[in-house]
Amino acid sequence: MKKLFAVILIIAPLTACNYLAGDEGIFRNRSSDYREAAIFPTMDVPVELDSYTLDQLYVVPEKLIIAGSNFDVIPRPRPIETRFQEGVRVQSFGDESWIVIDATPSQVWPLIRDYWTELEVLLDYENAIDGVMETAWVEIENDISTRNKYKLTIEPGLHPGYSEIYVLHLSVPRDGAAPATFEWPETSHSEERESRVKASISQYLADRNDVYQASSSSLLAGSIAAVSKANLIEGDEGVRVLELRVGYDRAWAMVRTALEAAEINILDSDRVESVFNVQFAAQNDEEDSPGFIRRVFSFGSEDEEDVIEFDFRLRLQETGNAINVIAETQESDAEIDSIKNALLLEINNNLS
C-alpha cells in the first residue's frame, strides 16, 4: 500500500500538469498561436467617410531570410552622417520665426487640432491638404476691445521627417458684428501674441508622447506636399545641385551656417554675386583605410598634410520658387564631380 501510494503521489502531479499546461490544457502555451491566425484584407473606408487613425497595428511579417557571411573582424558602427537637431524648437530668421519639430505633417496635424480642442477654441477653416487651419474669432485675456484670429500653416521641414509650423495673428476692432470677409496680413498684428501662441504650441507638442506613433497620423494631412525644403536633385546637364525651397535671404544664411557647422573653409563670399569660395576635400570616415582624396592624390605619403583640398565656387541661383546651390570648379572629371557631390551632401546634412 505504501508503494502504491508513493506511485500515485508521483503520477498525480504529472497528470495535473499535463491537464493544466499541456497541449489541450487550460493554461497551455499560446506563444505560437499567431502562426495559425487568419489574415484578413485591410479595412476599406467608404468614400463618404473619413478616418485618420486607421493603420496596421499588428503586421504579420513574411518569412525572414538573411543571407550573409561571417565577419573576420567585427565592423565598427557607421559614423553619424547628420547633425539634425531633434525635438521641438522655435527657430527664427530676421523678423520671422516658426516651430520646427522632427515629425511629419501628417503626425503634427491631429495634434494641433487637439491643441485647439483642449483650449475650447473652434476652427473656422481647415485644409489638411494645404496644411492650413484658422481659428474662430476669440477673446484674449478679457480684451473686449478687439477680436482675434490665428492662422496656422504646417509645411514640410528642411529634411525628411521634419515639419515647420507658422503662426499668424489677426486683430480687428470689436465694433458690431464680426466681419464676414477679411484679409490675412503678411505679418502678425501682434508679435507678442504670436510668440505666446508659438511657445504654447511648442510646449504642448513637447509634452505629447504620441507624436511619433503611426496611429496619431492623419491620412488627409498626408497629402501635404511631402517634398522637403532641402533636396539634392539633378540639374541641367545631369549636374547635381542642392535645391532650397526657401527665400533667398534665408538660403544665403543657411548655406553660410552649414559651411561653418561642417568646418568647411570659407575663403571669401560675395552676396551681390551670390557666391561662396570655399576649400573642401572629401573626408575619410574609416581610420584604417585611406579616404578617396588620399587614395588618388596622396603621392605615396600617409601624412594628413598631403591630403589636397580643392577650391570650389558655390553659386546660389534663383529658379522659380527655389534657390539652387551649385558647386563649380575649374577641373572637370569623374573624381572631381564626386567631390562636388560630397560637398553639397555635407552642406545639406548641416542645414538647420
What structural domains and CATH numbers belong to the chain? Answer: 88-175+182-223 (3.30.530.50), 230-349 (3.30.310.170)
Q: What pLDDT score does 26 carry? A: 56
For residues 296 and 30, which has the higher predicted lDDT (pLDDT)?
30
Calculate mean pLDDT across residues 211-216: 54
Calculate mean pLDDT across residues 166-188: 90
Q: What pLDDT score does 10 carry? A: 61
Q: What pLDDT score does 178 carry? A: 83
Calculate mean pLDDT across residues 145-168: 92
Q: Is the pLDDT of residue 271 over 60?
A: yes
- One-letter amino acid identity for 89? R
Q: What pLDDT score does 78 carry? A: 42
Task: At 228, list the grid cell.
Answer: 522637403
Q: Reduce the DSSP state of residue 115 to 3 states and report it.
A: helix
Calculate mean pLDDT across residues 20-33: 64
Q: Is the pLDDT of residue 214 over 50?
A: no
For residues 239 and 169, which has the higher predicted lDDT (pLDDT)?
169
Residues 90/98, Cβ–Cβ less than 8 Å: yes
In whole numbers, what is the pLDDT of the chain averaged over residues?
77
Highest mean pLDDT among 8-12, 57-61, 320-324: 320-324
Parallel/antiparallel/unpaired status of strands 322-328 and 123-127: unpaired
Question: Looking at 120-124, 159-163, 286-290, which range is the least confident one?
Answer: 286-290
Q: What pLDDT score does 150 carry? A: 97
How far is residue 352's CA from residue 349's CA, in Å, rounded to a whole number?
9
Task: At 330, list the grid cell.
Answer: 575649374
**SS3 of the chain: helix, strand, coil, percent, to 5:** 30, 25, 45
Calculate mean pLDDT across residues 22-27: 60
Q: What pLDDT score does 273 carry? A: 93
Q: What pLDDT band is residue 106 in, cutting at 50, 70 and 90?
A: confident
CA nearest to 241, candidates 255, 260, 256: 255
For residues 78 and 101, which has the higher predicted lDDT (pLDDT)?
101
DSSP label at 45?
Answer: P
Q: What pLDDT score does 99 carry? A: 95
Q: What pLDDT score does 191 carry? A: 93
Residues 204/90, Cβ–Cβ less than 8 Å: no
Task: At 6, list the grid cell.
Answer: 508513493
Residues 266/259, Cβ–Cβ less than 8 Å: yes
The model's pTM: 0.63
H helices of the chain, in order, are 2-21, 105-118, 191-207, 248-261, 292-297, 334-349
Q: What pLDDT score does 24 carry? A: 64
For residues 54 and 134, which has the higher predicted lDDT (pLDDT)?
134
Highest mean pLDDT among 138-147, 233-242, 327-336: 138-147
For residues 116 and 161, which has the higher predicted lDDT (pLDDT)?
116
